[in-house]
Amino acid sequence: MLTTFEVLSLPARREILERLRSGPSSVSELSDALGLSQPITSKHLRVLKDAGFVSVRPDAQRRWYELRPEPFVEVAQWLEPYRWMWEDRLDRLGRYLDDEEASR
Amino acid sequence: MLTTFEVLSLPARREILERLRSGPSSVSELSDALGLSQPITSKHLRVLKDAGFVSVRPDAQRRWYELRPEPFVEVAQWLEPYRWMWEDRLDRLGRYLDDEEASR
DNA sequence: AAGGTATATACTTTCAAAGGTATGTTGACG
DNA sequence: CGTCAACATACCTTTGAAAGTATATACCTT
């Protein structure tokens, strides 16, 4: 199973995620919209599902894929300790320290 | 050249970045601290440099590597349109009010 | 039951990143 | 000037993700 950042390293998969921001979508809708073959699309969705980026809801032959927040939260948490580099406002530093303290 | 997310997909490189949060470091310091061989460390640092994650300052035989914000900002900007998934409006309203207050 | 639709997966090939090892390069210092 | 120290890079090998193609599965419709 691929890790969160490995999943995100492929542009096609980021495009799938971007498209899912506007709501759930079926495989054929995604493959049409992004110009990918159906098998390729299914395989990317499988990877995205295994990593927690999407969930699936069957509906007859269709599968509706939908965004899930967990891996995005993981990225946000990874990113947080680096924010001081470009957001050097003291109140944000304060907020970061508050969060650190609150997490213990 | 590897893209931002490709660079981040390797744990060893994320560990290097994490270590650099406490300040600039030389190759041997990093390789000792992380248990990596010197060539491997140098190669990862080369990748990180090419992708803009670090800058280098020569000092005799030593090279001091230091974090740079740009790629982190890129990740933050990519992440932003997904925040609604786990941060609801009230959270963001709260932060907005905090910012307004802090700016006076 | 038959045929069509929507999706998943098996199989193969390709390709490039990652690690290991050896060697090159540059500067310090006796 | 020779040697050591710190680092970079060239070369080779391995490995696994990605794409393409073909096929399997499940469900609807008539």
- Per-residue pLDDT of B28-79, as tens digits, reads 999 999 999 999 999 999 999 999 999 999 999 999 999 999 999 999 999 9
- Does the beta carbon of A39 lie under 8 angstroms from any beta carbon of chain B? no
CB hemisphere CA count around A43 (13 angstroms): 7
Chain A residues touching B98 at Cβ < 8 A: 91, 95
d(CA A23, CA B6): 27
A3–B5 C-beta distance less than 8 A: no
Closest chain B C-alpha to A86 CA, distance in angstroms: 6
Residues with Cβ within 8 Å of residue B70, at least 6 apart in sequence: B52
C1' (C22) to CA (B11) span, angstroms:
26
User: Could you read off the pLDDT tens digit of each residue along chain A, which spans 104 residues?
Assistant: 999 999 999 999 999 999 999 999 999 999 999 999 999 999 999 999 999 999 999 999 999 999 999 999 999 999 999 999 999 766 555 555 555 666 64
Q: Which amino acid is at B18?
A: E
Q: What is the pLDDT of residue A13?
A: 98
- Measured between CA atoms, how close is A57 to chain B, in angstroms? 18
Report pTM: 0.89
CA distance A31 to A84: 39
- Longest distance between any two alpha carbons in chain A, whole Å: 54
CA distance B44 to chain A (A): 16
- How far in angstroms lies nucleotide D17's C1' from the CA of residue B96? 42
Contact B84/B77 with Cβ under 8 angstroms?
A: no
The number of residues making up chain A comes to 104
Is A101 an 8 Å CB contact of chain B?
Answer: no
The reported pLDDT for the residue numbered B88 is 76
pLDDT > 90? residue B97: no
* Closest nucleotide over all strands to A62 (CA to C1'): C6
Tell me the one-letter amino acid at A66.
E
Identify the DSSP state of A69: S
Length of chain B: 104
Interface check for B96 against chain A (CB to CB < 8 A): the answer is: no
Question: B84: which DSSP letter?
Answer: G
Q: At A89, which helix (H) or strand (E)?
A: none
